[in-house]
A and B are shown apart, each in its own frame.
Chain A
């Protein structure tokens, strides 16, 4: 930073067409090469952890579901899972399968959204439109389940509140087959198109050692050759569905694209298998204690590992809740990845970590920056 006086500062964000949510990255640029990056987050701080302490623990479910729009189903399920751990409630097996099915639907929807936006970030606008048209299939499926496209609203503490009957199950199976055929149509563009590959191969390198040291999560670290996936731990019904994380060794942006593309196929497969194996039983169970003690719960969101911590003291209010969403640990690797690239490569690389900023804002003190 000693020749900072000769460098140009380009502010990227907070509003940018490639970013779904606002974050600011200040690039220190020497002619065309990036020399340094300074992030600036805090644009969507809403005081959610503070609000969660004032609410009683039943209302917090609805608050946590609305932290982020794209990953809302899994936020709700993680919160409910954490409260169930605090109150020693064991949910029925059918509820676990149903939650798994809807978590995979959320993952599908999020990855399709990302693939479309990434296509636009490298300049492929009609690919963006095509991928989002196929995403509509998933959203219409969600709408047929509970009447709403994004906020499914089926999670309650103790299970789920909506059951899948036979017509709905057959509709899921048909739509998953249809979606697979549609994805097959354009998947090869991501894998083989020359103009696409020239923008992604070799860009944004994150070597294996750096990935582990800087604490990346999700598809970012799986594209660097490390098979880290929370679903391996076997929460909900993943223990009974034979699950293996998808790993690529290329450590670059193309690796992350391929990880997410293959995860779409894996989600479709998991949904079909879970539906075939759906056991009988009730869908919710009584929850009869106040939360007491401390508990953590980690699940796999489309963007990585989300970590919930709660502390209860035996009354109806929770004493402290802490939510660490997957984009925050992905920002330091991002800063490392960007150094040395051209300015024109910035949108693709920034978008490759899948920044979901509205999940991110948890910081409560504001310090002066020099």
Chain B
């Protein structure tokens, strides 16, 4: 008990250890695996990202040049960002917000 007294007083008068997310967002560093943005000006529909995605969240249609990405199937491993040779997939530094329905995002050229 005497050893713990110092800790008790410190916790009584110190600030809480939790971050009040979502009202206070943490500072994201480069390397945060956040949402994806597909830059269609640089994409040439080679389907490499579709092949490497472990959860099949990306669908590329080479004829209509559209990409469908499901933010709810994505596991945010960013294997696609590392694989794309044209660097057409840009990671944003944020975290996907929850939603009522599983939406799919479409990117067009």
List the interface of chain A (C-beta within 8 A of B).
55-56, 58-59, 62-63, 65-66, 126, 130, 133, 136, 143-148, 153, 156, 161-162, 185-186, 188-189
The chain B residue sitting closest to A65, CB to CB, is B77
Say yes or no: B32 contacts A185, CB within 8 Å.
no
The one of A56, A144, A145, A189 in contact with B4, judged by C-beta atoms closer than 8 angstroms, is A189
Does B29 belong to the interface (CB within 8 Å)? yes
Enumerate chain B residues within 8 angstroms of A153, measured Cβ to Cβ: 33, 77-78
The one of A63, A143, A189 in contact with B29, judged by C-beta atoms closer than 8 angstroms, is A143
Given known A146-B32, A148-B32, contact A59–B7 (CB-CB < 8 A): no
Which residues, 59 to 89 on B, are CB-close (under 8 Å) to A?
Answer: 75, 77-79, 82
Q: List 21 A-B contacts (CB under 8 A).
A: A56-B51, A59-B52, A59-B53, A62-B54, A62-B75, A62-B79, A66-B75, A130-B7, A130-B11, A143-B26, A145-B31, A146-B29, A147-B31, A147-B34, A148-B33, A153-B33, A153-B77, A161-B82, A162-B31, A185-B7, A186-B7
Does B17 belong to the interface (CB within 8 Å)? yes
Enumerate chain B residues within 8 angstroms of A65, measured Cβ to Cβ: 77
Enumerate chain B residues within 8 angstroms of A56, measured Cβ to Cβ: 51
| Interface contacts beyond A147-B29, A153-B77, A153-B78: sample of 9 additional A-B pairs, CB < 8 Å, sorted by A | A133-B17, A143-B26, A143-B29, A147-B32, A185-B3, A186-B3, A186-B7, A188-B3, A189-B4
Does B43 belong to the interface (CB within 8 Å)? no
Say yes or no: B93 contacts A147, CB within 8 Å.
yes
Complex alpha-carbon distance, A215 and B4, angstroms: 39
Say yes or no: B78 contacts A156, CB within 8 Å.
no
Complex alpha-carbon distance, A161 and B7, angstroms: 39
Enumerate chain B residues within 8 angstroms of A146, measured Cβ to Cβ: 29, 31-33
Complex alpha-carbon distance, A361 and B31, angstroms: 32
Say yes or no: B28 contacts A147, CB within 8 Å.
yes
Complex alpha-carbon distance, A65 and B30, angstroms: 21
List the interface of chain B (C-beta within 8 A of A).
3-4, 6-8, 11, 17, 26, 28-34, 51-54, 75, 77-79, 82, 93
Enumerate chain B residues within 8 angstroms of A189, measured Cβ to Cβ: 3-4
Complex alpha-carbon distance, A23 and B27, angstroms: 38
Complex alpha-carbon distance, A343 and B92, angstroms: 52
Enumerate chain B residues within 8 angstroms of A185, measured Cβ to Cβ: 3, 6-7
Complex alpha-carbon distance, A62 and B80, angstroms: 12
Say yes or no: B28 contacts A156, CB within 8 Å.
no
Enumerate chain B residues within 8 angstroms of A148, measured Cβ to Cβ: 32-33
CB distance from A65 to the nearest CB of B (A): 8
The chain B residue sitting closest to A130, CB to CB, is B7
Complex alpha-carbon distance, A62 and B74, angstroms: 12
Enumerate chain A residues within 8 angstroms of B51, measured Cβ to Cβ: 56
The chain A residue sitting closest to B28, CB to CB, is A147
CB distance from A59 to the nearest CB of B (A): 4
Complex alpha-carbon distance, A55 and B55, angstroms: 10
Complex alpha-carbon distance, A81 and B33, angstroms: 23
Enumerate chain A residues within 8 angstroms of B53, measured Cβ to Cβ: 59
CB distance from A160 to the nearest CB of B (A): 12
Enumerate chain A residues within 8 angstroms of B28, measured Cβ to Cβ: 147
CB distance from B45 to the nearest CB of A (A): 20
Complex alpha-carbon distance, A148 and B31, angstroms: 9
